[in-house]
Amino acid sequence: DTEVTQTPKHLVMGMTNKKSLKCEQHMGHRAMYWYKQKAKKPPELMFVYSYEKLSINESVPSRFSPECPNSSLLNLHLHALQPEDSALYLCASSQTQTGVPYEQYFGPGTRLTVT
């Protein structure tokens, strides 16, 4: 099974709301990732968790707060977002060994609209 699931598929939120995106994998992968993708652009890395610890934060604003409760789950908590944060948010996972990632598998994404 090479499936990564994400919920919700679509999310509309106001600038004062707090919401969370969820990602789950059952492939035994120990690295998980959040990416942001704007229309007609490539995915941009936001965060990497390796063995449930945050290993990379690509200078993401604090209104985005990641959490990795266990090796299968990854959350992205959203608070006080701006309209320019509207995008497709993609989760991915991979095996990793001594910090070297192997093949990444992506979830279907959450389309976020901030009004």
Partner 1 sequence: GIQVEQSPPDLILQEGANSTLRCNFSDSVNNLQWFHQNPWGQLINLFYIPSGTKQNGRLSATTVATERYSLLYISSSQTTDSGVYFCAVTTRPNAGKSTFGDGTTLTVKP
CA angle centred on 54, ends 50 and 59, rounded to 5°: 130
Q: How far is the CB of 44 from partner 1 (least distance, A)?
A: 8
Output the DSSP codes for 18-29.
EEEEEEEE-S--
**Residues contacting 94, CB < 8 A, separation 6+:** 29, 31, 33, 101, 102, 103, 104, 105
Q: Which 61-80 residues touch partner 1, going by CB under 8 A?
A: none
Q: Which residue from 2, 59, 62, 70 is in contact with partner 1, where contact means CB under 8 A?
A: 2
CB-based burial label for 87 (10 Å; 0-12, 13-18, 19+): buried
User: What is the C-alpha to C-alpha distance for residues 100 and 96, in angstroms, rounded to an integer?
Assistant: 5
Q: Which residue from 56, 61, 82, 113 is in contact with partner 1, where contact means CB under 8 A?
A: 56
Mask 16-55, x = binds partner 1 (CB under 8 A)? ---------------x-x---x---xxxxx--x-x----x
By C-beta, is 44 or 80 nearer to partner 1?
Answer: 44
Residues that bind partner 1 (CB under 8 A): 2, 31, 33, 37, 41-45, 48, 50, 55-56, 58, 88, 90, 92, 96, 99-106, 108-109, 111
